[in-house]
């Protein structure tokens, strides 16, 4: 069991003191949610996929009236890029005038970030109301013991469905939490499904090979529902193709059924214009609001999803797609939060996303480049550090304080012993940022990365350090 949220979650100090009754109810609601088993904070407690019981989620939602069956959905899985792609799909739908929900995880500063509508978070009163609906159901399920205890993420997913139904969204873009087949979001009947990419991550749970990982993520494929795949690896493509055939689900594979070409655009970070070709039509010179070449395939998947939604009755024009892609923003995904020196925050936390970040960093002009990094225990930290060491001049190792998952500073330093750049250490993120600032001066670049937890802490620190 987890305790009350740490300062990277919504905390008691965030609650206004001018309404004691409301504040107390909000505190109790959050305490209930965060008091449940939380694999985001303690992944070691999930020793195998047997820890994830989809029947428990089915039972929970059934007792809540099955809100997920009343919300039109695009369901998105992938080793990387699923959050960005979900944001692009939502942004395009919003540009077309549709009331659109976006469910993502984890949150960075406030719990309510997980379920937004047009970028707006639910109110505290709404969170209280949803927890009041869910709590007696969860307590009843705890007592009957048929499927085990309901988890933090399962409750959060249920809150998302309740919120989107209550607010009468026209569409919801739902990001898978972990894997796909047994993820608690995998109870919906979507209009379209997307698998953005397959790479090695969460191997202890999802499998050691790309084929095994693809099999788990392809578990979101539903009978007859179109599946869009941005996956590039042949062995993973084959798993997706076989499951799509078995489910009679139309498959649209990147590089076969749709194509994309991208052109880099100059700027402080490299952005791309893309041309996407699908079903004999080409949308040209689509400017992406999110930086990095890795976003080009994600954008292509979002464009194809929009075209398929059109075929299901949504009115999404080429201009809506163009506007939606240009206006997409994902907080703390290669985000510039300060200039002079340039400070970038990025939540890259596996090998593939770290490589995507490094590809962007290589395009930044020849200035001192400093990386502040902390990594969670279950990751391939040695390879992640190697990738960073190839593009940064200096690396400041640290350990985030808000979560027990951080690799110890001593272990991280040992893993970095052969890294081909200047390596320094600081026991906590504030000190690491202060060291990085001295090295970078006013003309250099600082990037904090390696974990959602580190980046959330650094985000809070930046205003003080650079005041």
Query: Do 316 and 357 belong together in one domain?
Result: no
Residue 107 resides in a domain = no
Residue 307 resides in a domain = yes
Query: Do 187 and 144 belong together in one domain?
Result: no
**Average pLDDT in the 130-144 region?**
95
- Supply the pLDDT for residue 16: 37
Query: Do 131 and 175 belong together in one domain?
Result: no
Per-residue pLDDT reduced to its tens digit, 71-83: 999 999 998 899 9
Query: Do 202 and 60 belong together in one domain?
Result: no
Query: Do 433 and 291 belong together in one domain?
Result: no
Per-residue pLDDT reduced to its tens digit, 278-331: 999 999 999 999 999 999 999 999 999 999 999 999 999 999 999 999 999 998
- Supply the pLDDT for residue 20: 55
**Average pLDDT in the 422-448 region?**
96
Cβ atoms within 10 Å of 120's Cβ, excluding its own: 9
User: Confidence class of residue 207 from pLDDT cuts 50, 70 and 90?
Assistant: low
Residue with tokens 């399962």: 154
Provide the domain limits for residue 414: 335-465
Residue 51 resides in a domain = yes
Residue 158 resides in a domain = no
How many domains is the chain built from? 3
Q: Is the pLDDT of residue 17 over 50?
A: no
**Domain end point (choices 297, 327, 357):** 327
Per-residue pLDDT reduced to its tens digit, 428-439: 999 999 999 999
User: Confidence class of residue 441 from pLDDT cuts 50, 70 and 90?
Assistant: very high
Q: Is the pLDDT of residue 203 over 90?
A: no
- Supply the pLDDT for residue 43: 52
Q: Report the CATH number that the domain containing residue 219 is assigned in CATH.
A: 3.40.1190.10
Tokens standing for 12?
A: 């008691």
Per-residue pLDDT reduced to its tens digit, 113-130: 999 999 999 999 999 999
165/265 Cα distance (integer angstroms): 40
pTM equals 0.86
Q: Report the CATH number that the domain containing residue 403 is assigned in CATH.
A: 3.90.190.20
Residue 2 resides in a domain = yes
Residue 94 resides in a domain = yes
User: Confidence class of residue 8 from pLDDT cuts 50, 70 and 90?
Assistant: very low
Q: Is the pLDDT of residue 415 over 70?
A: yes
Query: Do 90 and 180 belong together in one domain?
Result: yes
**Domain end point (choices 327, 350, 369):** 327
- Supply the pLDDT for residue 1: 28
Query: Do 417 and 344 belong together in one domain?
Result: yes
Query: Do 305 and 436 belong together in one domain?
Result: no
CA distances from 70 to 61, 65, 100 (A): 12, 10, 14
Share above pLDDT 90 across residues of the chain, in percent, rounded to a whole number: 77
**Average pLDDT in the 403-416 region?**
92
Residue 165 resides in a domain = no
**Domain end point (choices 271, 300, 327):** 327
Structural contact between residues 427 and 455, judged by C-beta atoms closer than 8 angstroms: no
Q: Which helix (H) or strand (E) holds 313?
A: none
- Supply the pLDDT for residue 5: 31
- Supply the pLDDT for residue 2: 31
Average pLDDT, the chain: 90
Query: Do 456 and 399 belong together in one domain?
Result: yes
Residue 129 resides in a domain = yes
User: Confidence class of residue 21 from pLDDT cuts 50, 70 and 90?
Assistant: low
Residues with Cβ within 8 Å of residue 338, at least 6 apart in sequence: 462, 466
Q: Is the pLDDT of residue 176 over 90?
A: yes
Q: Is the pLDDT of residue 13 over 60?
A: no
Query: Do 82 and 213 belong together in one domain?
Result: yes
Strand arrangement, sheet containing 192-195: 115-117, 100-103, 171-175, 73-77, 192-195, 227-229, 251-253
- Supply the pLDDT for residue 406: 92
Q: Is the pLDDT of residue 201 over 80?
A: no
Q: Which helix (H) or strand (E) holds 278?
A: strand 271-278
Cβ atoms within 10 Å of 437's Cβ, excluding its own: 19
Query: Do 294 and 342 belong together in one domain?
Result: no
Query: Do 202 and 316 belong together in one domain?
Result: yes
Q: Is the pLDDT of residue 44 over 80?
A: no
């Amino acid at each position: 069991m987890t305790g009350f949220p740490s300062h990277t979650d919504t905390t008691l100090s965030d609650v206004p003191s001018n309404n004691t009754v409301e504040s107390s109810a909000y505190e109790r609601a959050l305490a209930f949610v965060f008091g449940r088993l939380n694999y985001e904070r303690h992944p070691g407690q999930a020793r195998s996929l047997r820890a994830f019981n989809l029947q428990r989620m089915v039972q929970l939602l059934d007792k809540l009236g099955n809100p997920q069956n009343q919300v039109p959905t695009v369901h998105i899985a992938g080793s990387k890029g699923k959050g960005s792609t979900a944001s692009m799909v939502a942004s395009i739908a919003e540009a077309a005038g549709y009331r659109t929900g976006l469910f993502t995880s984890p949150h960075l500063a406030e719990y309510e970030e997980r379920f937004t509508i047009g970028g707006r978070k639910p109110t505290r009163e709404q969170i209280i109301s949803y927890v009041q609906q869910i709590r007696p159901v969860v307590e009843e399920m705890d007592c009957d013991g048929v499927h085990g205890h309901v988890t933090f993420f399962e409750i959060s997913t249920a809150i998302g469905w309740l919120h989107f139904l209550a607010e009468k969204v026209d569409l919801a873009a739902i990001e898978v939490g972990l894997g796909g087949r047994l993820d608690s979001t995998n109870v919906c009947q979507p209009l379209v499904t997307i698998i953005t990419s397959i790479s090695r991550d969460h191997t202890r749970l999802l499998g050691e090979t790309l084929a095994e990982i693809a099999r788990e993520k392809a578990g979101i494929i539903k009978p007859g529902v179109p599946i869009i795949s941005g996956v590039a690896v042949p062995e993973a493509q084959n798993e997706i193709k076989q499951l799509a055939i078995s489910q009679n689900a139309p498959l649209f594979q990147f590089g076969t059924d749709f194509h994309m070409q991208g052109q880099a655009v100059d700027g402080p970070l490299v952005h791309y214009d893309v041309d996407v070709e699908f079903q004999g039509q080409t949308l040209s010179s689509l400017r992406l609001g999110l930086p990095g070449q890795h976003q080009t395939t994600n954008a292509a998947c979002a464009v194809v999803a929009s075209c398929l939604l059109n075929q299901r009755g949504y009115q999404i024009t080429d201009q809506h797609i163009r506007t939606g892609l240009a206006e997409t923003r994902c907080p703390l995904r290669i985000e510039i939060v300060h200039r002079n020196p340039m400070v970038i925050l990025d939540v890259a936390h596996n090998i593939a996303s770290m490589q995507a970040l490094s590809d962007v960093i290589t395009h930044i002009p020849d200035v001192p480049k400093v990386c502040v990094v902390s990594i969670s225990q279950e990751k391939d930290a040695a390879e992640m550090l190697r990738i960073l060491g190839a593009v940064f001049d200096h690396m400041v190792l640290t350990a985030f304080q808000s979560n027990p998952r951080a690799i110890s500073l001593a272990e991280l330093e040992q893993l970095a012993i052969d890294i081909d750049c200047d390596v320094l250490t600081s026991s906590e993120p504030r000190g690491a940022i202060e060291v990085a600032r001295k090295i970078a001066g006013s003309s250099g670049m600082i990037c904090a990365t390696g974990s959602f937890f580190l980046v959330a802490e650094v985000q809070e620190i930046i205003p003080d350090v650079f005041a």
